[in-house]
């Protein structure tokens, strides 16, 4: 399974010019969560196609656990296998939160 690193997320924000924001893939114009920015960098700028791309790249559970880590809230238990995805999301937020001038 592929993983998404903080470095990959930082590169995506820099290339797309999007601002980091927690809570949704594309919560408002000019903003995206880590997964949204990564999908946008790869040409997927709407939620449905972005999720298809991300789920095919990693897995549905990885995407959900990563997103919860990025948002800083765990809602589900995906098992030990996806604890790394949650941590990947947390680390991605730490790597990019300085780029956000928005309250999340």
> What string of DSSP letters covers 13-70?
HHHH-PEE-SSSSS-STTEE-HHHHHHHHTT--SHHHHHHHHHHHS-HHHHHHHHHHH
User: Is residue 59 assigned to a domain?
Assistant: yes
Closest by CA position to 4, among listed 27, 38, 31: 38
User: Is residue 104 assigned to a domain?
Assistant: no
pLDDT band of residue 104 (cuts 50, 70, 90) is very low
User: Is residue 1 assigned to a domain?
Assistant: no
User: Is residue 68 assigned to a domain?
Assistant: yes
Domain of 77 in residue numbering reads as 6-99
User: Is residue 74 assigned to a domain?
Assistant: yes
Total count of domains within the chain: 1
Q: What are phi and psi of 31, to 5 degrees?
A: -130, 155
Pairing of strands 19-20, 31-32: parallel
Tell me the pLDDT tens digit for each residue of 13-60: 999 999 999 988 888 889 999 999 999 999 999 999 999 999 999 999
- pTM: predicted TM-score of the whole model, two decimal places: 0.89
User: Is residue 18 assigned to a domain?
Assistant: yes
Dihedral in degrees, nearest 10, Cα atoms 32, 88, 58, 67? -40
């Amino acid at each position: 399974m592929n993983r998404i690193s903080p470095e990959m997320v930082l590169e995506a924000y820099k290339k797309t010019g999007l601002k980091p924001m927690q809570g949704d893939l594309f919560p408002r114009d000019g903003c995206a969560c880590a997964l949204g920015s990564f999908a946008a960098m790869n040409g997927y700028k709407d939620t449905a196609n972005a999720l298809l791309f991300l789920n095919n790249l990693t897995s549905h559970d990885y995407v959900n656990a990563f997103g919860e880590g990025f948002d800083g809230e765990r809602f589900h238990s995906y098992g030990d296998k996806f604890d790394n995805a949650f941590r990947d999301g947390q680390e991605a937020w730490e790597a990019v939160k300085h780029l956000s001038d928005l309250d999340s």
